[in-house]
Amino acid sequence: MQPFLFLLSSPSNFPMLNLFKKKNAEIKVIDKIWMTQEGKWNAFADLAKKDPGTFFIAWFDETRQQLENIFTAKNLSLQIIIAARECSNHQLIDKPVIFIEHYPLRSKEQLLFDSLHRKEVMIYSALDEPLFTRFGGEKIIQMMKQLGMKDTESIENSLVSNAIRNAQEKIEKKVLLDQTARSQDDWLSKNFPS
């Protein structure tokens, strides 16, 4: 290769060329957190009644089944509950979407969020879920109770969102292979044993 062509072939030799490169903006994650899963399940049922066009996405089959059981008991449509591995942008375009749990690996979440072309996503969680109990969720529950919060109330707080992100990053550093699982607890047992 001639020296001039080599210089042109390497963008690092011309920093100005990087100005036109499209940067992937990180999708904004809004965490809405309940003390208990029961409080979270009730919030899903209430939301499905108020806005039947909202879709609920589950990362794990067991979580999806739990929500389907609750919706069945309350005579709500099961068509709006989708497994993460089955959802597509075409199916969800211009529709409100709520993730009903976090996936333990942040990179896997981001890949799906990117594929759905969302600028932001809403994730509902509960502090008694396995991902939180492994990283001190009970301390936050005690604090919320001391503040007089009820199971039916949720919080949105950047400190909690950052704690979730930090937990996911800790897990990601130690996980070599993402083994599939039926539940969040099963996934953590297989991939991130304590």
3-state helix, strand, coil in the chain (%, to 5): 50, 15, 35
Over 90: is that where the pLDDT of 21 sits?
Answer: no
Average pLDDT value for residue range 87-101: 91
| Strands of 120-126's sheet in order across | 81-83, 55-58, 97-99, 120-126, 28-34, 154-155
Query: Cβ–Cβ contacts within 10 Å for residue 173, how many?
Result: 7
Tell me: pLDDT of 5 over 90.
Answer: no
- pLDDT(192) > 80: yes
Taking residues 162-189, report their average pLDDT: 92
Contact call for residues 121 and 5 (beta carbons, < 8 A): no
> Residue ranges per domain, the chain?
27-191
**pLDDT of 138:** 81
Average pLDDT of the segment spanning 42-71: 96
> Region 29-37: what's the mean pLDDT?
93
- Is the pLDDT assigned to residue 16 strictly greater than 70? no
User: Span 27-191: which CATH code?
Assistant: 3.40.50.300
The confidence band for 24, taking pLDDT boundaries of 50, 70 and 90, is low
pTM to 2 decimal places: 0.82
